[in-house]
A and B are shown apart, each in its own frame.
Chain A
Amino acid sequence: MKKLILLLFTCFIVYQANSQDAQTILTKVDQNMSSTNRISESSMTIHGKRSSRTLTSKTWAVGTKKSYTEYLSPASEQGTKMLKLENQLWIFSPSTDRIIQISGHLLRQSVMGSDLSYEDMMEDRKLTDIYTAKISGEEKIEDRTCNVLELTSKVADVAYYSQKIWVDAERFVPLKQELYAKSGQQLKLVELKDVKQIDGRWFPTTVIYKDILKGGKGTEMKMMDIKFDQPIPDHVFSKASLKQ
Chain B
Amino acid sequence: MLAIQLAIKNLLGAGLRTWLNVAVLSFAFVVIVFYNGMLDGWNRQALKDTREWEVGNGQLWHPAYDRYDPFSLQEAHAPLSGEVVSLVQRKQLTPVLITQASAYPKGRMINIVLKGIDPDQQMLKLPTSLLKEDSGEIPALIGKRMAQSARLKTGDKVLVRWRDKNGTFDAREIHIAGVFDANVPSVDNGQFWIPLGNLQQMTGMENEATLLVAANTHTVQKTGIWEARDLDFLLKEFNEIMDSKKGSSKVIYFLLLAIALLAIFDTQVLSVFRRQKEIGTYIALGMTRAEVVRIFTVEGSAHSFLALLLGALYGIPFLAYLAKTGIPMPKSAGEAGIAISDSIIPVYSAGMVVTTILLVVITATVVSYFPARRISSMKPTEALKGKIQ
Known: A105-B71, A213-B171. A181 touches B161 (CB 8 A): yes
Bound-complex Cα distance A213 to B71 (A): 22
* B166 located at the interface, meaning its Cβ lies under 8 Å from any Cβ of chain A in the complex: yes
Q: Could you say which residues of chain B place their CB within 8 Å of the CB of A215? A: 107
A181 touches B109 (CB 8 A): no
A213 touches B168 (CB 8 A): no
* B206 located at the interface, meaning its Cβ lies under 8 Å from any Cβ of chain A in the complex: no
Question: Closest CB of chain A to B208's CB: distance in Å?
Answer: 15
Find residues 156-173 in chain A having any chain B CB closer than 8 Å to their own CB: 156-161
Known: A213-B159, A215-B107. A185 touches B166 (CB 8 A): no
B166 touches A183 (CB 8 A): no
The one of B71, B102, B168, B204 that contacts A160, using a Cβ cutoff of 8 Å: B168
Bound-complex Cα distance A181 to B168 (A): 8
Question: Closest CB of chain A to B190's CB: distance in Å?
Answer: 16
Q: Could you say which residues of chain A place their CB within 8 Å of the CB of B107? A: 215
A157 touches B167 (CB 8 A): yes
B161 touches A158 (CB 8 A): no
Interface size class of B (residues with CB under 8 A): 10 to 19
Bound-complex Cα distance A183 to B109 (A): 19
* B74 located at the interface, meaning its Cβ lies under 8 Å from any Cβ of chain A in the complex: yes
A157 touches B166 (CB 8 A): yes
Interface size class of A (residues with CB under 8 A): 10 to 19
* A53 located at the interface, meaning its Cβ lies under 8 Å from any Cβ of chain B in the complex: no
B109 touches A158 (CB 8 A): no
Q: Could you say which residues of chain A place their CB within 8 Å of the CB of B168? A: 153, 156-161, 181-182
Q: Could you say which residues of chain B place their CB within 8 Å of the CB of A105? A: 71, 74
A185 touches B172 (CB 8 A): yes
* A50 located at the interface, meaning its Cβ lies under 8 Å from any Cβ of chain B in the complex: no
Q: Could you say which residues of chain A place their CB within 8 Å of the CB of B161? A: 181, 185, 187, 213
Question: Closest CB of chain A to B207's CB: distance in Å?
Answer: 17
Find residues 131-185 in chain B having any chain A CB closer than 8 Å to their own CB: 159, 161, 163-164, 166-173
Known: A213-B109, A214-B109. A181 touches B169 (CB 8 A): yes
* A200 located at the interface, meaning its Cβ lies under 8 Å from any Cβ of chain B in the complex: no
Bound-complex Cα distance A159 to B170 (A): 9
Find residues 313-365 in chain B having any chain A CB closer than 8 Å to their own CB: none
Mark each residue of chain A from 35 to 61: 1 if its CB lies under 8 Å from any CB of chain B, else 0: 000000000000000000000000000
* B19 located at the interface, meaning its Cβ lies under 8 Å from any Cβ of chain A in the complex: no
What is the chain A residue whose CB lies nearest that of B102?
Answer: A213
* B104 located at the interface, meaning its Cβ lies under 8 Å from any Cβ of chain A in the complex: yes
Bound-complex Cα distance A99 to B168 (A): 29
Bound-complex Cα distance A132 to B104 (A): 30
Q: Could you say which residues of chain B place their CB within 8 Å of the CB of A157? A: 166-168
Q: Could you say which residues of chain A place their CB within 8 Å of the CB of B172? A: 181, 183, 185
* A104 located at the interface, meaning its Cβ lies under 8 Å from any Cβ of chain B in the complex: yes
Known: A181-B161, A213-B161, A215-B107. A187 touches B171 (CB 8 A): yes
What is the chain A residue whose CB lies nearest that of B138?
Answer: A183
Bound-complex Cα distance A153 to B164 (A): 14
Q: Could you say which residues of chain B place their CB within 8 Å of the CB of A182? A: 164, 168-170
Question: Closest CB of chain A to B140's CB: distance in Å?
Answer: 15
B109 touches A185 (CB 8 A): no
Find residues 101-122 in chain A having any chain B CB closer than 8 Å to their own CB: 104-105, 119
What is the chain B residue whose CB lies nearest that of A105?
Answer: B71
A156 touches B166 (CB 8 A): yes
Bound-complex Cα distance A85 to B173 (A): 37
What are 21 inter-chain pairs, A to B, with CB distance below 8 A? Answer: A104-B71, A105-B74, A153-B168, A156-B164, A156-B168, A156-B204, A158-B168, A159-B167, A159-B168, A159-B169, A161-B168, A181-B169, A182-B164, A182-B169, A183-B170, A185-B171, A185-B172, A187-B169, A213-B102, A213-B161, A214-B109
Residues of B with Cβ closer than 8 Å to A?
Answer: 71, 74, 102, 104, 107, 109, 159, 161, 163-164, 166-173, 204
- Per CB-CB distance, the 7 closest pairs between chain A and chain B, nearest first, are A185-B171, A157-B166, A156-B166, A182-B170, A181-B171, A181-B170, A183-B172
